[in-house]
Structures are given as C-alpha cells and as structure tokens.
Structure 1
Amino acid sequence: MANNTERRPEKVYFPNIDVENLEGYMVGGYHPTVIGDSFHEGRYEIVHKLGFGGYSTIWLARDRHLQRYVSLKILIARQTSESNEAEMLRLLSDRSFESAHPGHRFVPRLLDDFTLDGPNGRHLCLEWSSNNMFPVETARSIAAQLILGLSYLHSRGVCHGDLHIHNFLIYGRNIDHLSPDELYTRYAFNTAPVRRVDGAPPEPHAPPYAVYSMPIETPANELADPTIKISDYGTSFVTTTTDNNPPPELCTPTLYLPPEVLFSDDRTVIMPLAADIWTFGVNLYEVLGERTLFETFTCDRDDILADVISTLGLPPQRWWDTWANCGEFFEEDSEWRKGGISRVYDPVWRPLRQRMWDMGRGETPERCEWDVRGGEMRALEELFRGVLAWEPKERWTAEDLVRSEYMVKWALPAWERQRRRQGEAALAPA
C-alpha cells in the first residue's frame, strides 16, 4: 500500500538568528503571526513581539475593548490539547486564596484565554497584563518578591517545574498611554524576511517575515523599585499525586536540575516541591550576583555534577556509587568518608562560601558591599545551604524561606520600603 504522506525536507527555511526556530512553522507548530493581526473577534491587535520559546511565541497586543496593552502567548498547535497552563493560572488567580497570601501579587493574572484556528492547527492563546548587577536594595527586594511568590505557589500545591531566571519577569513602566506609532518610536521595530530553501513563498504555514523581540531591556544597575512576576506555567502541575499518578517529568534546564535527577537514582522518589526549591536556590544566586552558581562550559550532566560537588561537598554515598564517571573528576582516598577528596581533573575545588564572595558583591569581606558586620552574607549562606541540601527531604520549604533570617532582616524590609516609596509616588500630585 502506497504511503501518501508528504515527507518534510530536513530544512525548509533559511535560518535567522534572534528569532524563533523557523522550522517550527509547520502543521502542529507556531501560528504564523504578523503585526496587525487581530484575534478573538477583533479584540486583540498584535503590535510587537515580546519573546518566544520552543512551545510558544509571546506578543504585545492592544486590547481594543479596554484600551491597554497586554501580553498574548500563542502556543504551538500540538501543545493546545496537552497544556494545563490556563488551568494553573486560573487556580493561582482564585481570589478566595489570593487575599490570604502576600505572594499572590507575584504571579501574573490570567485575563483571558481562547483558541484560534490557523493553517498549522488550533492554538491556545493566553492573555495577561504586561551593568549586569542589581543595586543592593533592589536585589534584596527582588529576593523577597520571589520568595513570597514561590511561597504562594507551594501553598496552593503547585510545582512550577521550570523555575529559572528567564521566567522571572520584571514589570517596568506603564505604556498603555502610547499609541502603536509612539511605541515604535520609543522601542525599535525590526523584521527579517522568512525565505524557504526551495524558493517557494512561506505562506500559509509561515509568516512572510519574522519579528525581532521588542528591545525593552534596562541595565540591572539602573533598575529601581522593580516589580517581579514568576511566569510560564506551561509545565506546572498540582502535587496531589499518588503512586499510580506520578508527577510529570521536570522540564528544568539541566544546569538547574536537582541532584536526585542528575544522579538518576531510581531509589529516590522525586519530591516536586523540593526540586522547585533547589532550582529556585540556584537561580536566586544568579539574581543576587552577576554569575551562575554552577559553572561549566557544557550542559553535560557529569560536568555539572562535578561542579556541584566542588561547591557543596560530598553527595550521599548511594548517589556516589551510581555515578559511573566519577573517576574522571575525582578519586577516592583513605580519608574520603571523613571529608577528604583528591582532585584529579577540573573543576577546581571552590566551596560555597568562596562562591558567595565571588558573586560580584566584593572580592573580600572587607570590600563587600553587603552588610558583613550585621551578618547578611552569613544569613544568605545559611539560606543557600538550606535550599541546596543534597537530600530532598532535608531541604528548606518555601515557608522556611519566608521565615529565614535573610528574609526577615534584609529582603522583606527592602520590599516593604519599596512599597512605601511606590505608594508615596502614587499619591504625589502630577
């Protein structure tokens, strides 16, 4: 029997950098969106692009009913029937729970969701309102907002599943008063033609041009009083699971995966909220400093494990025994279980305390900008050791983070001072 299924060439489009993978414009893939498109009975008009990922494109749209700008996330067609992101956002937007937890404000509110049909299938659309180091006070406030936001998620039983720095959104100035032309004057608008390798027109499966993301970046050291939102719930799930319904696989980038996943120890039950806590801790280091906590030149799991060990010390014996390639990085000696370890190859042994001073806040305790005498760095180190415990059951919970000395003495007061400043600015005469 003849197979009439059309074979897709390996490459259909000439690639463009800094835009979504154009090969994703196919049946089941991205919707071919262009500036000026209108969706949901003409309510939302596409004005600019905010970003993209492997499973969606995110657009700045004008809500014609309410005369404001919103973020519109358009999922690839094959994800529409599988995605539970709208369900997660509706759960987290339940007003009966919001008022009881201060962290609800750090989760974006789902304003609308609908589907659209296009040449590549049916797409789910979600709509919500829209120097490399932060100043010390800003960093503290951001830490408090992220901790409160994570606490809110976990209080609702939601495991985010993909906590990393690119899903921490910084909300800046309001642009609702700008017309599209004024928006393009302030923020550059650039496109690149979409060209097929065979010379055929890209339509209908791809747009005639790709849009570069809206350049709204601000140097971290120029940010003052930012408001943070924890975004992207496409891989989130509620943790009320049973043995017959295990938690979904984590979609966290490899560098941020917890060790129980990296070691692939079948005897360790993955505790989703504890996995979230580990990933949060690794990313919090990056938020507060100007470098990543674990540093490798590759995303190879063995390289990452070696650097984690060089930071935190010895892993549990059962995990070490399952790591087939440990000899490429370390060798055991007679003092191994007493805390000794001999380095054979890189990475250089650089423990957590040293990495605390390598965050970029200062090379020595004397030069560090943080309040050393008052114990801020010590309290922060205690926090990192709590969230980066090897054993999942020994890690701090989100509520432990809220009650931690760092949160109570430094982070939360900075957030409260920011709220007072913002409240005073709102009350000031124009």
Structure 2
Amino acid sequence: MLMSFLQSLPRLGPRWTPLNFTNPNFIRLSTSQAIEEETIPGYIAGRYYPTRIGEILKDRYQVVGKLGFGASSNRVARTYRRYVTLKIYIKSALMGQQLDDELKIYKRIEGAPQRHPGRKYVRSLLDSFDVSGPEDRHRCLVHPPLWESVLDFLFRNPVQRLPTPILAVTLHRLFLALDYLHTECKIIHTDIKADNIMFGIADDSVLSEFENNELQHPCPRKDSECLKNLGAPILCDFGSAVMGDEEHSEDIQPDIYRAPEVILQAPWSYKVDIWNVGCVIWNLFEGESLFSGQDPEFQTYRSRAHLAEMIRLLGPPSPDFLARGNLTPKFFSQEGISSVSPFPIFRHLEGEEKEMFLRLLRKMLQWEPEKRSSAMELEQDEWVQAELHK
C-alpha cells in the first residue's frame, strides 16, 4: 500500500495549469539501493503502482509529493484547489473482496447521522477510483489529509510514550469516535493501534511548504518538524472493519490486541474494540505492550501464552464465559486455572491519579464483553475528564 500526498484540482481545462515538477536538482539513487517498499520482505515491484511526482490521476489529482509507504498528512483548503491524501493499494487481484468491503464501510459511515460529536474524529472518504498499472488495476481511496500517526509520534519521542495531557485528549477523541461508529454507524473497527490513529494539522502552511519544497528541492530530503501544527487525533483505516449488526466469530485484531472472546472463537461484537483500546493505552502510556503472547517453548506468539498472560493479570475467566468458546477445550481443563497477579509495574503516575487511571483500564480489560464499559461511558471517565479540565 502506497500513501501519496496529492493536490486535488477541480478539473483539467483552460483555467488550470499543472505544476511543473521537472526540477533536475535531485539526488539520484542507485537502482540497486532498496528504499521504502523495496525493503519489505518479499517485495515484488509488479504489485505496486509506480506513482510519479507530478503525475495526474483521474484528470483531477496531481501528485505533489510522497510521504513514504504507510504515511499520511493533513488537510488544507484553498480557493480553486485543496490537498488530499491518495491511498493507492497493491494490485487489486491480491486484495480481493477486501477492497469492496472497505468501500461498503465508508458508504455506511457517509450515510450515518453527521451531528454526533464523534463524527469529526473518524476519517472520511472523499472519492474512490481504480487506476491501471503495468500488470493490474489498483484501487485508490481519497481522504482528507492528516499528519503523522501516534506511532510515528512515539518513535520521535525519546521516552517512547505519550505525555499525559496528549494521552487524555487522544483517548477522549477516540472514545467519541468509537461511540459514533458503534451506535450510529453499527461498525466494529477491529484494528485499533497506534498507527491507525493520526493527528491533524492546526497550521495549514505546512502543506504549502511541503509542496514548495518539492518544487524547489526535490526529494529525497528530510521531513520538517511540525509538532506545533498537530491537530486533533483521528481514527483511520477501515480496511478490517466489519458491520456490527451481523454475527461474528472469525479471527480478527493484531495478535497482542486480540480480545479473549476472539482467541476462544466465541461470538464477538462491539466490545472487542473496547478491549483493543485498553491494550493500546498501555502501549501509549508505558511505552511497552501489556501482553506479548510469546510462548517460551516455541519462541513465537501462541494463543495459549496470551491467555496465560491474561489470567496472570485478570484472574481466571468464569465458567459461563468459557462455555461460549468453540476453542475453550483446547486451552482450559475442567479444573481451570486460579493464578492471579496485579497489573504490571506502573511507572508514570502516583497516588489517587494512578488509582483513577487503573480504574479506567479495568473498565476495558474484562473477560466478559458485557462487563466492559461502552465508548460513551469511557468518554465520561473520571481520569479522562480530570485530565481534560486541568
């Protein structure tokens, strides 16, 4: 998947002149030097659309720069033109039904009520089309541009964690976004992680600067600092989202974020997103994963190791919950397991503030989905609200 930063133009015609990106003063890289997508294990060039800076797609979008694979940027509005992000997927034959499923999700979001306060924290789709590549067609999704992901922010932060005020704002907006998805759109995201939460830009000038830099000093080049331009966090990437008004028991979520009902192959619904957020919070605030799932015998992720970590943290699950899972007999004997220990060492809060934060986590990390709080209840959590009003 390729993320390109584009300039959206109303139409090709006599009033519009494409920008000229033929400045020859750029560093020429050797064809044998692997960069970006080429560094991915198993990379095959024919799977990707060979986007060129200055290229015009659908008679409307001129590519003005590439932010790198998996990266994005933020929105700026101008008279007669605006900036957007174009996500160009690998060739359609490899994506299959997922391409159409993702469009159905965005259409449902578009058809849902727009006045919910969480709507503005969910990324919208502006346009979609297919473009022909050397070997196949490629699906293109057009979004309002955003800046960097929370994961990128963490990598650039020397302590590898979110400061408390930023975490509180991020969680507040994320809970609003999830409440909108769950209650108004009837959508389950299923893939909430730091690189699927992206920041906006408060200062529009960074986008025009990006374009001018590409015109005058063509890439490769270093990204400019723009922490001062970060805007509200937005929940992105609905490629794995599903309809919440349908029955589900299939395998979902990144390994370390899998909810217990998913691992046990029990029916699941909206509350898998709540469990997912509870795990992500630990990553964002502690700079490490709450669960690893690493099996010492096999030296890799295994569901049995993940469940053992859950038991050490939360205590044993109830017999009623275990009875729901098709895979329960694979992991649990009739005697069950009774070991339990407190949450891992918590390093960044003390006293009542620490207890409030742990209560927030416990509202999300429960074996039984019905015992987990809803997104709206979490948005009103005492720790979140206290941090927002400091």
Indicate whether the TM-score tops 0.5: yes
Say if 1:188 and 1:122 are closer, same or farther in 2 by CA, change over 3 A.
Answer: closer
8 Å Cα contact 1:383/1:401 also seen in 2: yes
Aligned-partner Cα distance in 1 for 2:387–2:210? 40
**Distance change >3 Å, CA 18–CA 74, structure 1 → 2:** closer
What's the counterpart of residue 396 of structure 1?
373
SS in 2 for 1:124: strand
Amino acid at match of 2:86: L
Q: How far apart, CA to CA, are the structure 2 residues paired with 1:269 and 1:115?
A: 35
Q: CA deviation at 1:322?
A: 3.2
**SS of 1:285 mapped into structure 2:** helix
Alignment of 1:119-158 (within 5 A): 119-130=134-145, 131=158, 132-155=160-183, 156-158=185-187
Classify 1:49/1:291 alpha carbon distance in 2 versus 1 (closer, same or farther; 3 Å).
Answer: same
Report whether the alignment pairs 1:269 with 2:267.
yes
Structure 2 matches for 1:285-304, cutoff 5 A?
285-297=282-294, 298-304=300-306
**1 CA distance for matches of 2:357 and 2:264?**
27
Name the structure 1 match of 2:276.
Answer: 279
Instruction: Decide which structure has the larger Cα Rg and report it.
Output: 1
Match of 2:193 among 143, 156, 164: 164
Separation of aligned partners in 2, 1:299 and 1:170: 31
* Distance in 2 separating the partners of 1:14 and 1:22: 16
Which of 186, 191, 211 aligns to 1:180? It is 211
Q: Distance in 1 between matches of 2:278 and 2:328?
A: 25
8 A contact 1:151–1:398 mirrored in 2: yes
With normalisation by structure 1, the TM-score equals: 0.66
1:106 aligns with 2:118: no
1:25-36 residue pairs with structure 2 within 5 A? 25=44, 29-36=47-54
- The equivalent position to 1:71 in structure 2, one of 66, 74, 85, is 85
- Please give the alpha-carbon distance, in whole angstroms, between the structure 2 residues aligned to 1:234 and 1:62: 25
* Contact 1:162–1:252 (CA under 8 A) maintained in structure 2: yes
Is the 8 Å Cα contact of residues 59 and 72 (structure 1) preserved in structure 2?
A: no
1:232 partner letter? D
Report how far residue 226 of structure 1 moved. 4.0
1:311 and 2:308 matched: no
- The 1-side partners of 2:96 and 2:120 are apart by 27
Q: State whether residues 64 and 214 of structure 2, in contact with CA within 8 Å, keep that contact through their aligned partners in structure 1.
A: no
Within the candidate set 228, 231, 234, 2:236 is matched to 231
TM-score using structure 2 length: 0.72
- Structure 1 residues 187 and 299: CA distance shift in structure 2, 3 A: farther
The count of aligned residue pairs is 331
- Whether contact under 8 Å (1:80, 1:124) holds in the other structure is no
Identical aligned residues as a percent: 23
Paired letter, 1:303 = A
SS in 1 for 2:238: coil
- The worse-fitting range, judged by mean Cα deviation, of 167-176 and 313-322 is 313-322
Aligned counterpart in structure 1 of residue 113 of structure 2, from 97, 118, 126: 97
Deviations 1:168-199 (A, max 9, x none): 11223432322534158899626xxxxxxxxx
Corresponding position: 1:40 with 2:58: yes
Q: Secondary structure at the match of 1:116?
A: strand
Contact 2:199 2:230 in 1 (8 A): no
- Any conservation in 2 of the 1:163–1:279 contact (CA below 8 Å)? yes
| Cα RMSD for the two superposed structures | 3.7
Offset at 1:324? 4.4
Q: State the one-letter code of the partner of 1:102.
A: P
Instruction: Give the partner amino acid of 2:178.
Output: L
Match of 2:104 in 1: 87
Q: Residues 326-341 of structure 1 correspond to what in structure 2 (within 5 A)? A: 340-341=338-339
Report the secondary structure of 1:315's partner residue.
Answer: coil
The 1:15–1:185 alpha-carbon spacing in structure 2 relative to 1, beyond 3 Å, is: closer
Gaps of 5+ in 2: 1-30, 146-157, 295-299
Whole-angstrom CA distance in 2 between matches of 1:248 and 1:116? 35
Contact kept? 1:36, 1:45, Cα under 8 Å: yes
Aligned to 1:169, the other structure's residue is in SS state strand
Q: Distance in 1 between matches of 2:224 and 2:303?
A: 34
Closer, same or farther in 2 for the Cα pair 1:120/1:81, shift >3 Å?
Answer: farther
AA in 2 matched with 1:409: A
| CA contact 2:313–2:342 (8 Å) conserved in 1 | yes
Which residue in 1 is equivalent to 2:21? none
Match of 2:19 in 1: none
Q: 2: CA distance between counterparts of 1:43 and 1:17?
A: 25
- Could you tell me how far 1:19 is from its partner in structure 2? 2.6
Distance 2:218 2:329 in 1: 50
CA spacing shift, 1:61–1:376, aligned 2, 3 Å = closer
Q: Secondary structure of the equivalent of 1:127?
A: strand
The equivalent residue for 2:359 is 382
Match of 2:328 in 1: 322
Q: Deviations over 1:147-180 (max 9, x none)?
A: 1111111122111121111101122343232253
Q: How far apart are 1:283 and its partner, in Å?
A: 0.7
> Can you give the 5+ residue segments of structure 1 that lack an aligned partner in the other structure?
1-12, 191-213, 342-348, 366-371, 415-430
Structure 2 Cα separation of the partners of residues 137 and 62 of structure 1: 26
Q: In structure 1, how many angstroms separate the alpha carbons of the residues matched to 2:74 and 2:293?
A: 35
Return closer, same or farther for 1:225/1:171 CA change in 2, 3 Å cut-off. closer
The one-letter amino acid paired with 2:63 is E
Within 5 A, what are the aligned runs for 1:411-430? 411=388, 413=389
Which stretch shifts more, 167-176 or 118-127?
167-176
